[in-house]
Structures are given as structure tokens and as C-alpha cells.
Chain A
Amino acid sequence: MDNTIANAAAGLVDLERGTVNRKIFADPDIYREEIERIFARCWLYLAHDSQIPNAGDYVNVFMGEEPVLVCRDADGSIYAFINSCRHRGNKVCRADGGNAKSFQCPYHGWTYSVRGDLIGVPGHADLYSEELDRSKWGLPRVAQVDSYRGMIFATFDPEAPPLLEYLGDIRWGLDMLFEQGDLVAVPGIARWSMNVNWKFASDNAIGDMYHAFWSHRSAMLSGHGSANGQASLKSLQPSLNNGFTMVTKYGHGFNANFIDESTLDRASPLTAWRFDPAVRARLGSLRGRVNRANMLIWPNLFVNTGSREFMLRNPLGPAKMGIWKTILVDKNASPETQRMAVRASNRHFGPAGMFEQDDGENWDQSTLAAQSVVSQRYDLNYAMALGHGEVVEDGASPPRIDTLTNENAQLWMYRVWAEFMAAGSWPELRATIEQPRGTL
């Protein structure tokens, strides 16, 4: 870790003016510090419980840039470790998922259990004279692994707070999704990659209700969403008071628009959960009115509570990012209802998605424009509603802002980004990081 680079980077976010220097979207040294200070430190989403239901089931994922194997052991517990043989570093498993009894490195045959323990070394007796202590050469395990309502997370940092503390108030937001049914991951993760700095995707997730009306205008006008294009477009008209915004201490947040019950298709099985009295009681009046929330689980997971997806955006370099999209459905819903939900999600998000194809185009352009020296002298403007984002603490929810369209959440995200960059460790970060209060 380089404190000089990291501290200088933290200074590139100007909270008074609401600006962000473009260098943070381009500079390789800053990127390197982000990998150390954010991705090697935070709890990161790995997979959904339902993807590895049985003993020996595994998925190959990434935590930041690290390839990580997530496995279910015979006793049902989950192990996550770096997928890199301790001998020459090769991946010990190269499939994206499956079921295995053990993992054998293709190079020299070192063999590991689904817990990551080294259980076999060819020539251990004669070539190594039994001098290799296999107990010390297992695959490097993550420091902590835990899950929240089926979402498996892990962190490389032993000093990271427990997952529940890390998620904090955003659990109130995530529950909007999980109260909709008994959600499971649909097989078939869409994967694609682009020349984008990961933060542009994150700041879009946490609170960009400004872009929808313009970026996704063509989808709405063409009749995607509802047959009446003008009406669907109107539903995305940037407004102040048709929803609310939430930000939390460790950088998670969301924006949620209220539903117009008069436009709700009550016959659709996809909206049936809204009329379940038990669900309504659990959600309460505020969350019960939410149409859809776009949510960021800091640093890189986009959660959409409307069409029910997890979109993980992994950094692949200062100007490169991979997206993995997982669709969730209610496992108790009929096959027809599940089919309807999956079809809607397939058409909406993904590289060909009616909405998301235009996001890829725009984030690519933002990233490209951050690369050149003279352009870097001109900061990006995140100042919408700066000084107007009153944080409401009325007990109806964790602290929130009662406007839908603002850049308070995005600027908050860059504030947290700067805090992570400036802090040398989790204890330091926990001592200094603040709850959102007052006016943002």
C-alpha cells in the first residue's frame, strides 16, 4: 500500500463543491490502491446460496481481481479460497461451476479438498522426503465468509467488521427484495465486459435516477415496459418527491421510486406479493409503496428489487470491468410465473437488454473521457441537490433523504471511497467513518 498515492487520491473528491477529479477513473496507481484498500478489505458478494446446494458443489468467482473458489462442504458449510495452486500458482479448477470431490492442479497434480486443504502431493514420500508440511500449503482462505438471506459474502481482511455490521442499515433495503418471496438464483449467469471504470457503474447503481429518463428513453418510447411508450417514459420523468434515497455508513445506498397503484397490473402474478397482507405488514408503509429500488452494496454489487437481479461489477483494470448478472425468482412461484420473470429480466438487463445496452455505451464514454491529461483538469460535476439533501431520522426507516432524484447518494459514495482510500486499516476506518447526518 502506498499512503502518498492513496491520500492524494482521497483529495480528488471535493465534497464542498460536489466534484470528482477524472483521474480516479483512469490512474493505474490509484486503481492499484483501490484493489488493496477497497476490494481486499470490503465484504464482497460471491454467490447465492442456491447456486451451490449440495456437498461438493462449487462456483468459481472473483473477489476484486482474485479468482476464488466457493465450495459447499459435506457438513453444509461454505469455504472460499483463492483458486491458485501453492506450487506454481495455476488454477486448480478451471470450470465456472460444477460438483467436485477435490481439485487437482493440472501442472504437477497437487490436490486440494473442497475446504482448500492440501491433501495430495505427488512424490511426497520420495521426492520431498516427507519434508513438505501439507498443513501449511493449503489454498489461501478468505479471512471471513458469511451470508445474509442467501447472499454469500467474504472478505480478505480479518479486521473487517462482521457482515451484519458491514451491511448495517442497507439490510432494511435488501429486505425489500427478500420479502418478495423465497428467492433462488436462476441458472445461467450472463457475463460480459467493457472498457469501463467500475466506479461509474457503482455510482449509477446507488442513486442515478437522473439518467433513466434520458439514457433509457428509446426503450420506453418503443413500448418496452408498457404498450404506452409516452406513459412509461413519464414514469421515469426525473422528480424530486416521487420516492426517496438512502445512504449508509459504509457506502451502500439506494434510490427507490414509489409505485403508482393505478398503473399496477393487479392480475399479474409478478405483483401478487404486493397484496399479501403478511408481506405488507413486514415491509411497512414506506417500503410497501416502493416500485423498484436500484441499490448498491458497496463497492460493486448492483441489486435491482424490481426485476430482481444481482449485477456484480468486477474491476479488471483502471478502464476495464466485467459484469455478472444473476436473476432471482421465487422458488414457490409457478413455472409460468418464473418464466415470465426471467423473460422480463432477460429483455431488460444484460448486454442486449433494452435498458442496459445504452448503459454500456455511456459508461464506456465516461471512462474514455477520463483518460487524457487536459480533460483531467476539468472535474466531473456531482453537485445536483448539494446542500439540499436533508437526512430524515424519523424512525420510519434508517436515515434517508426524502427526494428521489439527486446526486447526494453518488457524492456520498465518493466520500466513502475517499475514506477507504485514506484509511490505513479497518480499525482506522471504523474509528473515523460517519453516519449520514444533517444535510448532504
Chain B
Amino acid sequence: MSVTPLEADGAIRLQYEIEQFLYREAALLDDRRFVEWLELLDPELEYWMPVRSTRALGDEAHEFARLGEGAFFDDDKASMEQRVRKLATGFAWAEDPPSRTRHNVSNVRILTHGDGLIELACNFLVVRTRLANDNDLWSGQRKDTLREGENGFTIVKRHLFLDHVNLDSKNLSSFF
């Protein structure tokens, strides 16, 4: 594949901007700046984490539930706003005292780019510790669609494909 220097510069620049956006977003979550994080979510947000099951070789198509089936998250912008409001009520027991999280984003690949939309795939690794002894490690692949706006990117789609079938966690009260 041959590219002109200008095209290569553009691709590198886009990769850089997107990675910086994803890192800033992860930092907002780790710092519990959830109201600011909400601003990154597009009004048309589709935020989805399907459940998964173990299937025999050849039956992988049935591993992940489809949209409209069983999911851990099946949310839109309004319901994400509810989740954030919940945390601030003073009665959100799963997050009071707050969990400590570390959001790691890696292997960022831009899949498509056009019409102001960028589809990307990346890996996520979220570490959650809570109270004295709770330790959770959630990993998986993420497929995001970002919209390029005047004020930067917004997240239109976030599809989270966990590496886990059984979540050994008493709750999933963190954001991804």
C-alpha cells in the first residue's frame, strides 16, 4: 500500500487526536468527573454491552447476545444521565464509598472515517477496587463510533464486548 506523505500525515494526525480523546475520556472516568464525561456522549448515543455465552466451535455466531436481547448495558443518553444522577443522590450504595477505577484503552484502530463519523475498535481493561477487598478486572473489545463536531468528538455508539461469560462481580456500577 502506497500513500502520499500528506495522506500519511493526515492519518497519523487523526490517530493521534482520537487516542488523545480516548485518554482524556478515560481520565474523566477515573477522576469521577461524570458530569463532564456526559458531555462527550452524543444525544443519539447507543451504549451497549451484550451478555456472552460459551458456545461450541462452529457456533461462535451465538456467543454474544444481539441488540434487543440480554445485555448488561442497553442504554441511551437519557439513561446514562440517570445513572450519573443516581451517583449524586447520596443513596447510591454500590458507589458510596466510591469504587476506585483505572480505565486502560489500547490497540486503537480506526476502521472507517467519513461523513464526519469515525468507527474505531480498541481494547479496554478496567480495574475496579472497592472497599477493602473487592477486586474486579473487566476486559474486552470496544467498538466506538465518534462524531466530529465543532467542539471535538462525541460518542455516538459504544459497543462493549466483554471477554467474560460469567462476571464475577457483585455489581457493575462503573462506566466503560
Contact with A along B149-176 (1 / 0, CB 8 A): 0000000000000000111111111000
**Interfacial residues of chain A within 185-199, with CB under 8 A of chain B in the complex:** 186-196
What is the CA–CA distance of A387 and B172 in the complex, to the nearest angstrom? 40
On whether A191 and B93 interact (CB within 8 A), knowing A98-B62, A352-B173, the answer reads: no
Which residues from B are CB-within-8-Å of A351? Answer: 72, 167, 169-172
Question: B71-87 interface mask toward A, CB cutoff 8 Å, 1 = contact, 0 = none?
Answer: 11111000100110111
| B94 contacts partner chain A, Cβ-Cβ < 8 Å | yes
Q: A188-B65, A222-B86, A352-B173 known; A95 and B54 CB under 8 Å?
A: yes
Closest-by-CB residue of B relative to A187 is B69
**Contact yes or no, B169 A194, CB < 8 A:** yes
Question: For residue A335, which residue of chain B has the nearest CB?
Answer: B68
Residues A338 and B85 in contact, CB atoms below 8 Å apart: no
Q: With CB as the reference atom, state the residue of chain B lying closest to A99.
A: B59
Contacts of B65 in A (CB 8 A): 187-188
Q: Which residues of A contact B85 (CB under 8 A)?
A: 221-223
Q: Which of B53, B69, B91 contacts A217 (CB 8 A)?
A: B91
Most A CB within 10 A of own CB, among B66, B83, B165:
B83
Q: How far is the CB of B68 from chain A (nearest CB, A)?
A: 5
- Contact of A36 with B by CB under 8 A: no
How many residues in B have their beta carbons less than 8 Å from beta carbons of A?
40
> A193-B166, A218-B89, A352-B72 are known contacts. Are A187 and B66 too (CB-CB below 8 A)?
yes
A221-B91, A222-B85 given; A192·B53 CB < 8 A = no
How far does the Cβ of A163 sit from chain B's closest Cβ, in whole Å?
27
Interface residues on A, range: 35 or more
Q: What A residues does B56 contact at CB under 8 A?
A: 94-95, 98
| Distance (whole angstroms) from the CB of B50 to the closest CB of chain A | 6
A222 near B89 (CB under 8 angstroms)? yes
Q: Does A325 sit within 8 A of B, measured CB to CB?
A: yes
Residue B51 at the chain A interface, CB threshold 8 Å: yes
| A327 interfacial contact with B, CB 8 Å | yes
Pick the contact of A346 from B71, B83, B91, B94 — CB < 8 Å? B71
Distance, CA A196 to CA B166, complexed state (A): 15
A interface: dominant SS: mixed
Is the CB of B55 closer than 8 A to any CB of chain A? yes
Check B55–A361 contact: CB distance below 8 A: no
User: With an 8 A cutoff between CB atoms, is A215 at the interface?
Assistant: yes
Known: A191-B166, A223-B85. A98 touches B171 (CB 8 A): no
Chain A nearest CB, measured from B102 CB (Å): 19
Chain B CB count within 10 A is highest, among A192, A196, A356, for A192
Interface Cβ pair total, 8 Å cutoff: 145
Measured CB to CB, the closest approach of chain A to B28, in angstroms, equals: 19
Q: Quick one: which of B55, B70, B90 has the most chain A CB within 10 A?
A: B70
Considering only CB atoms, which chain A residue lies closest to B130 in the complex? A361
A361-B62 contact, Cβ under 8 Å, with A98-B55, A190-B72: no
Verify A188–B170 contact, CB threshold 8 A: no
Q: B89–A194 contact, CB under 8 A?
A: no
A186 to B50, CA, bound (A): 13
CB <8 Å contact, A347 and B74: yes
| Complex interface: chain A residues within 8 A of B90 (CB) | 218
A278 to chain B, nearest CB (A): 28
Cβ of A377 under 8 Å from chain B: no
| A123 nearest CB across to chain B (Å) | 25
Task: Chain A residues near B74: list those with CB within 8 A.
Answer: 342-343, 346-347
Residues B169 and A222 in contact, CB atoms below 8 Å apart: no
Residue of B nearest to A327 (CB): B70
- CB of A364 closer than 8 Å to a CB of B: yes
Residues 26-68 of chain A, each 1 if its beta carbon lies under 8 Å from chain B, else 0? 0000000000000000000000000000000000000000000
Q: Is A350 an interface residue (CB 8 A)?
A: yes
Q: Are B69 and A342 in contact (CB under 8 A)?
A: yes
Residues from chain B with Cβ under 8 Å of A352 in the complex: 49, 72-73, 171-173
Give Cα distance in the complex from A357 to B86, angstroms.
12
Q: Is the CB of A188 within 8 A of B70?
A: yes
Provide the residues of chain B in CB contact with A339, threshold 8 Å. 68
Which A residues lie within 8 Å of B51 (CB)? Answer: 188-191
> Bound state CA distance, A409 and B43, in angstroms?
45
CA distance A35 to B71 in the complex (A): 31
Question: A325 CA to B72 CA in the complex, in Å?
Answer: 11
Kindly state whether residue A360 has any CB partner on chain B within 8 Å: yes
Q: How far is the CA of A38 from the CA of B173 in the complex (A)?
A: 33
CA–CA, A347 to B75, complex, Å? 7
Note all chain B residues with C-beta closer than 8 A to A360: 94, 169-171
Judge whether A189 and B68 touch: CB under 8 Å.
no
**Is there a chain B Cβ closer than 8 Å to A96's Cβ?**
yes
Given A188-B69, A189-B53, A217-B91, A224 contacting B86 (CB threshold 8 A): yes
B92 interface hit (Cβ, 8 Å): yes
Check if B69 sits within 8 Å of A356, measured CB to CB: no
B73 touches A346 (CB 8 A): yes
Q: How far, in Å, is B81 (CB) from chain A's closest CB?
A: 8
Q: Of B50, B166, B171, B173, which is within 8 A of A322 by CB?
A: B166
CA of A96 to CA of B164, assembled, Å: 13
Nearest-neighbor residue (CB-CB) of B90 within chain A: A218
For B171, list chain A residues within 8 Å (CB).
194, 351-352, 356-358, 360-361
* Sampled A-B contacts (11; CB under 8 Å): A95-B53, A187-B65, A188-B53, A188-B71, A192-B170, A195-B170, A215-B93, A335-B68, A352-B171, A354-B83, A361-B93
**Closest 10 pairs between A and B when the two form their complex, measured CB to CB:** A188-B70, A188-B65, A360-B170, A346-B74, A194-B170, A357-B171, A188-B69, A352-B172, A222-B85, A222-B86
